[in-house]
């Protein structure tokens, strides 16, 4: 049978070719494979998008940006306050975080100091720091005083002079005394009034008692000339390098004009101390070794102190001897020093006590002035010369800045006796029996506690409380 040329057969002509049919299992596998591809691509895309946390801690570019932001924030914190500026936060509006203190280190962080001594730390992080200041007046070593320390074997001991004020000293941080007479030492020959030279063992006792700031500018500083200054300063430098001696410098090494402030610092709270004398009893000072009262120099020194410390204490040796009333010259200089920036004035020289008063500036800032704290020890025979005082002042540095918060005065009595009975008592410990045992007949029975109370009340005024044996005034002095 012949084949049909057209391809027809018995089943039909021109049928379409058949497609391959996929099994259901194949379709399922293909779908799953597609899903895996999509998930993988998505995961790859998201893995290249760092999180915010990762960018802050690991990205170099972001770390550098963060550093610039920190520096800018610190720089803003360092800018002086503008009284006309609009506060940008509740803390700024309330004045929180402002500290006028000098550069220091607080318990919560360090501060840096620029060339002017300005602090760059936030006061909000400053823990309150308290400095208790203690001062006594003239250590006037007459021959009767240095004889009391003579041990009979060529040595001296003067611990007895300070034994009765030890509890008061123990409560203080900055402990100041006025070293009226020069400590030239026995090698130069001891002498009393009018040109003094005292044993250096007096300084040994002062250090043992805890004093850490010695005022050297007095009218008797040049009694032994440059040799006396050199001998005393060498004694302090060689034996007690941590004790500051203010008001005189080593002759030929530098000058008083170049000396500037001396400092006491506690936990980042820095106090500047300056000391000057009105005169040198006519003696020459060829090397300019003693700091004398010169208004221009004092203004310069106080300005330096204000730029390098939190608070400034000025200790002038001034006034009229044996007068309980400050002179007009004292008042004028005190006013000027307060306006220049002094925060506390501790005066001496008159050999008697004078009032403790406040200078209030136009901005409300108050500066306590101790016109004279009197003698600490001497053999001067007038009853008023036997009454001195312990100046006690509390200084505080906190988030509001640095300031005086309390000032006080407690009377002391020089008990003039032989040997270790030559000593000084707080009035609160002085008795009638002691008053009758003084070895100087002119004074025996004349310095009774009742009389001392009346005398102090008259000089110090109504702020003195005889029942507590003290004058004590609290201040809110944040200006």
Contacts of residue 443, Cβ cutoff 8 Å, sequence gap at least 6:
381, 383, 386, 416
> What is the average pLDDT across 44-64?
35
Predicted pLDDT at 6 = 36
126, 139, 377, 430, 438 from 381: Cα distances, Å: 50, 15, 11, 18, 11
Pairing of strands 174-178, 129-139: parallel
> What is the average pLDDT across 330-344?
98
> What is the average pLDDT across 59-65?
33
173, pLDDT greater than 50: yes
User: Residue 263: is the preceding peptide bond cis (ω within 30°)?
Assistant: no
Element (H, E) at 238: helix 225-239
Q: What is the pLDDT of residues 175-190, one digit of tens each?
A: 999 999 999 999 999 9
CA distance 248 to 234: 12
What's the 3-state SS for 351-363? CCECCEEEEECCC
The domains found in the chain, sorted by start residue, are 131-375 (3.60.21.10)
Q: What is the pLDDT of residues 248-296, one digit of tens each?
A: 999 999 999 999 999 999 999 999 999 999 999 999 999 999 999 999 9
| % of the chain surpassing 90 pLDDT | 70
> What is the average pLDDT across 36-40?
46
Q: What is the pLDDT of residues 211-253, one digit of tens each?
A: 999 999 999 999 999 999 999 999 999 999 999 999 999 999 9
Which range (84-88, 199-203, 302-306, 431-435) has the least confidence?
Answer: 84-88
For the chain, what is the mean pLDDT? 80
Q: What is the pLDDT of residues 451-464, one digit of tens each?
A: 999 999 999 999 99
42, 270, 341, 397 from 216: Cα distances, Å: 83, 21, 22, 28
pLDDT-based confidence at 446, cuts 50/70/90? confident
Q: What is the pLDDT of residues 101-138, one digit of tens each?
A: 333 333 323 222 333 333 322 344 579 999 999 999 99
71, pLDDT greater than 90: no
**319 closest CA partner among 303, 330, 311:** 330
* Phi, psi of 306, rounded to the nearest 5 degrees: -65, -30
81, 222, 295, 308, 479 from 116: Cα distances, Å: 17, 34, 22, 7, 21
CA distance 409 to 370: 9
195, pLDDT greater than 60: yes
Are the beta carbons of 270 and 250 closer than 8 angstroms? no
Element (H, E) at 151: none
CA distance 282 to 216: 17
> What is the average pLDDT across 45-52?
37
């Amino acid at each position: 049978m012949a084949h049909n040329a057209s391809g027809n057969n018995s089943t039909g002509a021109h049928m379409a070719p058949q497609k391959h049919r996929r099994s259901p299992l194949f379709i399922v596998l293909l779908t799953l494979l597609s899903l895996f591809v999509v998930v993988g691509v998505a995961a790859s895309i998201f893995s290249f998008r760092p999180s915010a946390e990762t960018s802050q801690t690991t990205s170099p570019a972001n770390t550098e940006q963060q550093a610039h932001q920190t520096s800018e924030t610190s720089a803003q914190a360092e800018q002086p306050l503008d009284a006309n500026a609009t506060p940008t936060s509740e803390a700024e509006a309330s004045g929180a975080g402002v500290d006028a203190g000098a550069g220091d280190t607080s318990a919560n962080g360090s501060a840096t100091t620029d060339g002017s001594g300005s602090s760059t730390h936030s006061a909000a992080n400053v823990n309150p720091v308290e400095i208790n200041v203690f001062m006594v007046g003239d250590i006037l070593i007459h021959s009767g005083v240095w004889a009391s320390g003579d041990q009979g074997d060529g040595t001296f001991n003067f611990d007895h002079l300070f034994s009765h004020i030890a509890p008061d000293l123990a409560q203080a941080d900055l402990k100041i005394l006025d070293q009226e007479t020069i400590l030239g030492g026995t090698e130069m020959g001891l002498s009393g009034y009018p040109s003094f030279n005292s044993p250096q063992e007096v300084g040994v006792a002062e250090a043992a008692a805890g004093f850490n700031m010695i005022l050297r500018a007095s009218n008797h500083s040049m009694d032994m000339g440059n040799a006396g200054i050199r001998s005393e300063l060498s004694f302090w430098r060689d034996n007690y390098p941590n004790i500051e001696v203010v008001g005189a410098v080593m002759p030929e090494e530098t000058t008083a004009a170049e000396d500037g402030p001396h400092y006491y610092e506690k936990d980042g709270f820095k106090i500047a101390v300056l000391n000057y004398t009105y005169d040198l009893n006519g003696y020459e000072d060829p090397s300019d070794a003693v700091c004398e009262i010169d208004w221009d120099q004092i203004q310069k020194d106080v300005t330096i102190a204000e730029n390098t410390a939190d608070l400034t204490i000025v200790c002038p040796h001034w006034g009229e001897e044996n007068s309980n009333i400050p002179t007009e010259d004292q008042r004028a200089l005190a006013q000027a020093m307060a306006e220049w920036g002094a925060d506390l004035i501790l005066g001496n020289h008159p050999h008697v006590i004078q009032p403790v008063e406040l200078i209030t500036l136009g901005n409300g800032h108050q500066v306590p002035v101790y016109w004279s704290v009197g003698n600490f020890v001497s053999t001067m025979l007038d009853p008023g010369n036997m009454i001195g005082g312990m100046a006690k002042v509390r200084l505080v540095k906190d988030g509001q800045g640095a300031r005086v918060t309390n000032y006080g005065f407690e009377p002391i009595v020089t008990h003039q006796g032989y040997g270790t009975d030559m000593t000084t008592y707080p009035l609160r410990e002085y008795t009638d029996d002691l008053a009758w045992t003084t070895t100087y007949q002119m004074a025996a029975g004349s310095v009774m506690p009742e009389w001392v109370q009346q005398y102090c009340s008259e000089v110090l005024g109504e702020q003195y409380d005889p029942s507590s044996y003290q004058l004590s005034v609290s201040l809110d002095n944040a200006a």
